[in-house]
Chain A
């Protein structure tokens, strides 16, 4: 079973002191690359069109989210068209957000996940490109080690 284990680092302090609270502060972050879905990449290749360059950024593993979310402006920039809508409750009331198929590569692991449906939402302002929800965790084991500021994903 492949394992992705990451320990958060604190500038100028090695090793991290126990109970530093770094993981609690930052959350389980993972570098990801957002790419057009496989079927669209195939279509573009067949029609001789170049696939848009993937976009890299940070994603937060979010056990509170039933499904994954990707920054909508980023998906639009990749040229991926919506395949549905989702009604999302916010502090300001219900808003309708687009739903997209997308491919997300977890950097440093070599794992690429084809999502049939992720919800698009404005995440960029939060410094994130994606929230990785329980749809992804369905096939993974997440081990959260707060005292040592590290977490492990096994899949």
Chain B
């Protein structure tokens, strides 16, 4: 599963979050491996730079925030896209 590929990047982000928050609150960090490749104003810019620097590889593009926003998908959460009544 591709999500496991980013486990190291996620762990590194958690370790670095406090220092990133001090200088880059709200910006987008590009992390590959255990390295911050850059800080950008938008996720699109970060992704484009990641492609340019490392090619088409898994990369973590994450907004520097105290907590990541919650996304909700009731259809997936409850499996209610289809049901027989």
* B43 x A66 contact (CB < 8 A): no
| CA–CA, A49 and B1, complex, Å | 25
Query: Are A101 and B74 in touch, CB under 8 angstroms?
Result: no
Q: Which residues of A contact B75 (CB under 8 A)?
A: 60, 62, 64-65, 131
Within B59-82, which residues are at the interface with A (CB < 8 Å)?
A: 59-62, 70-79, 81-82
Given A39-B47, A85-B10, A114-B44, A60 contacting B60 (CB threshold 8 A): no
B12 to A: closest C-beta gap in Å: 13
B5: which of A82, A86, A128 is its contact (CB, 8 Å)?
Answer: A82
CB within 8 Å for A66 and B44 given contacts A81-B57, A84-B62, A85-B6: no
Q: Are A76 and B77 touching (Cβ within 8 A)?
A: no
Judged by a CB distance under 8 angstroms, whether B19 is at the interface is no
B: number of interface residues (CB 8 Å): 34
Interface 9-mer from A3-11, A12-20, A115-123, A138-146: A115-123
| Chain A proximity of B57: nearest CB distance (Å) | 6
Evaluate contact between B81 and A128: CB separation under 8 angstroms.
yes
Q: Are A83 and B60 in contact (CB under 8 A)?
A: yes
Give B22-49 interface residues, CB cut-off 8 Å to A.
42-44, 47-48
- The answer to whether the Cβ of A89 comes within 8 Å of any Cβ in the partner chain is yes
Partner of A65, one of B44, B52, B59, B74: B74
Please judge, given known A-B contacts A62-B75, A88-B73, whether A82 and B2 are in contact too, CB under 8 Å.
yes
Say yes or no: is A21 at the interface (Cβ < 8 Å to chain B). Answer: no
12 A-B residue pairs with Cβ-Cβ distance under 8 Å, sorted by A, are A62-B75, A67-B73, A81-B2, A81-B59, A82-B2, A89-B72, A90-B76, A91-B78, A114-B44, A117-B43, A117-B61, A131-B75
7 A-B pairs closest in CB distance: A116-B43, A39-B48, A83-B61, A126-B81, A64-B74, A81-B58, A67-B71
